[in-house]
A = this chain, B = another copy of it.
Amino acid sequence: MKARGALALVLLAVLALVVASTPGLAADSLPSWNDGAAKTSIVEFVSKVTREDSPDFVPVAERIATFDNDGTLWVEQPIYAQFAFAFDRVKALAPQHPEWQNEEPFASLLKGDFKSAFAGGETAVVKIMMSTHAGMTTEEFEQIVTDWIASAKHPKTGRLYTEMVYQPMIEVLEYLRANGFKTYVVTGGGIEFMRPWAERVYGIPPEQIVGSSIKTKYELRDGKPVLVRLPEIEFIDDGPGKPAGINSHIGRRPIAAFGNSDGDLEMLQWTTAGSGARLALIVHHTDAAREWSYDRASYIGRLDKALGEAQAKGWTVVDMKRDWKVIFPFEEE
């Protein structure tokens, strides 16, 4: 009877694994989500593409999910974290650049006069970004970002930026990965700005970050190879750039995409234009008390055209105030 006893045990173990990996039967994988249409649409989509008997079944290798970062995975108000980083770098570098005292946008920025600093529009932004993001090796830049992210505080809450992530979205990332998905960040922000911390904070490794980039140049310095960051834009991973970035880095069309602004519209269009079951989800910032409330009129993270298209096409729109029990992980403390 030994063999039959062993068989029974093995079968029990297999059954336990099946139960644990079946979405409907498992303990709630999205505990920070209130029951409602948004949560249901996520769970039903995952069930549809992972059940082997489903007409919408998708093999593991093709389970690609892409997430915008600013405003989708973490806070983007009152300014993008990467802008705060750039401003801190301008301050840190100012002693080496006495000419900045009389040169815009630096002069205004150093006086804390953001309005004048950005009167120059995109040119001003590019000047600030290039002066703070280029001129060092990739390893040096990684260290600068690592040091900054470990200490810089969000101006409203005084929390680390990496604490200002959305707990319900962290649960979606984990839930998808538990169901065989490969999760990617597809951000308008800098690819090298995210890589040093995205694995620790989101569980997303460097090779699964797609983002904007500047050119690099290979050099030997004292016989040691380095990549030097050049003050030249290589790729802007925003709006129509997102499908191009996805194509370049992933080479497969996602079956699920998550965004929060018009900069994500083309990624959502591209994702939903594939055949079979698709999930397009927009995080709508509706909670002025716990986070921010903004959409069509906002300068940061404007959600206008994509909100209209979401409504017309039946995409999932998350109402942060109504759908999320908590916004940030620290609320659970």
Seen from chain A, the residues whose Cβ lies within 8 Å of a Cβ on chain B are 1-3, 5-6, 9-10, 61, 138, 182, 191-192, 195, 205-207, 209, 213, 215-218, 220, 224-225, 227, 234, 240-241, 243-244, 247-252, 266, 269-270, 273
Contact of A209 among B9, B220, B251 (CB under 8 A): B251
Decide if A191 touches B252 in the complex (CB within 8 Å).
Answer: no
Q: Closest approach, in angstroms, between the C-beta of A308 and any C-beta of chain B? A: 15
Q: How far is the CB of A298 from chain B (nearest CB, A)?
A: 24
Q: Which of B2, B225, B249 contacts A1 (CB 8 A)?
A: B2
Decide: B216 and A247 in contact? CB cutoff 8 A: yes
For the complex of A and B, 6 pairs with smallest distance between CB atoms: A206-B251, A2-B5, A218-B240, A6-B6, A6-B9, A207-B250
Chain B residue at minimum C-beta to C-beta distance from A243: B218
Q: How many copies does the complex hold?
A: 2
Residues of B within 8 A of A195 (CB): 251
Supplied contacts A6-B6, A224-B273, A225-B270, 4 more A-B pairs, CB within 8 Å? A2-B2, A207-B251, A234-B248, A249-B249
Which chain B residues lie closer than 8 Å to A244 at the CB level?
215-218, 227
Q: How far is the CB of A145 from chain B (nearest CB, A)?
A: 12
Which chain B residues border A252 with CB–CB below 8 Å? 205-207
